[in-house]
Amino acid sequence: MKFEFYNPTRLIFGAGTLSRLGEAAREHGRKALLVTGGGSVKRTGVFDRAVTSLEKAGVSVVECAGIEPNPRITSVRRGADMARREGCDLVVALGGGSTMDAAKVIAAAVFYEGDPWDMIGHGQENWVLPTRALPIITVPTLAATGSEMNCGAVISNDEVKVKSFVKADCLFPRVALADPELTLTVPRDQTAYGVCDIITHVTEGYFNGVDGTPIQDRFAEGVILTAMEYGRRAVADGGDLEARTQVQWASIVALNGWVQAGVDAVHPVHMIEHALSAHHDVPHGAGLAVVNPAWMRFAAKARPQRFAQFARRVFGLQADGRGDLELAMEGIDRFEAFLRSIGCPTRLSELGIGDELIPRYAEDAALVLRDEHGNLLGRPPMSKADIEAVLRSAL
Ligand code: NZQ
Ligand code: ZN
């Protein structure tokens, strides 16, 4: 096991911490581009509270509203123009993963003279690694992506029908201010999708990582068990602050790099979901709920021991004379049943997706599931035909 861990984001966590936004922002700038989504923060009053806190601390605000779920590169271009024109020296994201991701790329695009789309498509030909960005502060209102404390951003481009990502050190937020009270208003379906996203962030490493990572395995199982227990509660009662708090913390831990350290994971489930989202604009967590169990059934055959471990440790299943693969399959069935119990879709048809474009999704995902030498990635490695088969099994 070999790794380097770096995460410079200061995390301010807990109910009521929104009032500290101004104080936190003031250390990094005086004029904030406040990036928001489609209006939820206005309806909940969170926007006014954020602006009050910022202005009280002497930080003036320019709003960049209207970031869409599955944020588009067009919004990033608009935000970067606005930040430049207004002379903003700080970017504050107030919203879900989409808003945070757009805000991050806006912060970098301010210093980039070309088209911000050049920065998306990690590792692709002609890809431009962002090296400089305005200071970023994230204030999540939805627990799911972990974007608040990582250096990634996922952006969609409708013109070319691609959803892809960028990861760069300059995109680490200076401060993540996570106040679980802000998530109390997240609707039931988005809450469930968020729980699925959190769990999938750690299952990617758990099943795709190298062997010999016992601590990371236990971290991942802790995240899964916590997200399941408190996620169930948050879905049943959106006003349960304790449940919202634990789910929020799980979302951060799941993708701030800690669980991933040393596992050398690829993310086939995410890459396949991104291909679906690029064509159908589905909510990220809902797409994952469809792809993940289908992918697991494919991968379990190659690594039954890992999946049997998951069945035993997460669902408390016993072998009772059965082999690893049989146990593994029951664990996957239980996982899928959990997703359904909280209201996630688990079939493509529930997302309104048929089989017509399956070869295209598979082609898109296969492009990013291979290294620079063309070797297939994943454990087991996935060919285009494998991806197609996984998707067909989820129809
Ligand atoms: O846009 P508004 O009006 O704010 O409404 C949003 C949106 O409709 C609503 N919402 C958010 N907070 C709310 C709320 N409604 C009521 N009360 C609140 N407190 O929820 C809807 C979904 O929001 P969105 O930001 O799209 O959801 P999520 O946080 O799941 O983000 C999804 C995006 O993040 C990317 C996904 O691909 C997708 O584009 N990801 C980013 C990652 C990262 N940066 O590390 C990793 C993830 O794997 C993921 O790929
Ligand atoms: Zn995700």
Q: Which structural domains are found in the chain, ordered by start?
A: 10-183 (3.40.50.1970), 188-393 (1.20.1090.10)
| Residue 163 confidence (pLDDT) above 80 | yes
* CB proximity list for 50: less than 8 A, separation 6 or greater: 18, 21, 34, 41, 92, 94, 139
Is the CB of residue 190 below 6 angstroms from any atom belonging to ligand 1?
yes
Tokens of 342: 């909280």
Mean of pLDDT values over 357-381: 92
Is the CB of 152 inside a 6 Å radius of any atom of ligand 1? yes
374: left (phi over 0), alpha (psi -120 to 50) or beta: left
* DSSP 3-state of 53: helix
Q: What is the reported pLDDT for 123?
A: 61
Is 344 in contact with 327 (CB distance < 8 Å)?
no
Distance 10 CA to ligand 1 centre (A): 21
Q: How far is the CA of 142 from the centre of ligand 2 (A)?
A: 13
Cβ of 267 less than 6 Å from ligand 1: no
Cα of 21 from ligand 2 centre, angstroms: 26
Rounded-to-10 torsion of CA 151, 346, 315, 240? 70
Q: Is this model's pTM higher than 0.90 or not?
A: yes
- Give distance in angstroms: CA of 22 to centre of ligand 2: 29
Confidence (pLDDT) at 310:
98
Buried b (16+ CB within 10 A) or exposed e, 9-21: bebbbebebbebb
291's tokens:
């792809």
Determine which of 34-48, 112-126, 173-187, 204-218 has the lowest per-residue pLDDT on average. 112-126
CA 85 to chain CA mean position, Å: 30
Q: How large is the angle between the packed helices 268-280 and 284-300, nearest 10 degrees?
A: 140
32 - beta bridge partners?
61, 90
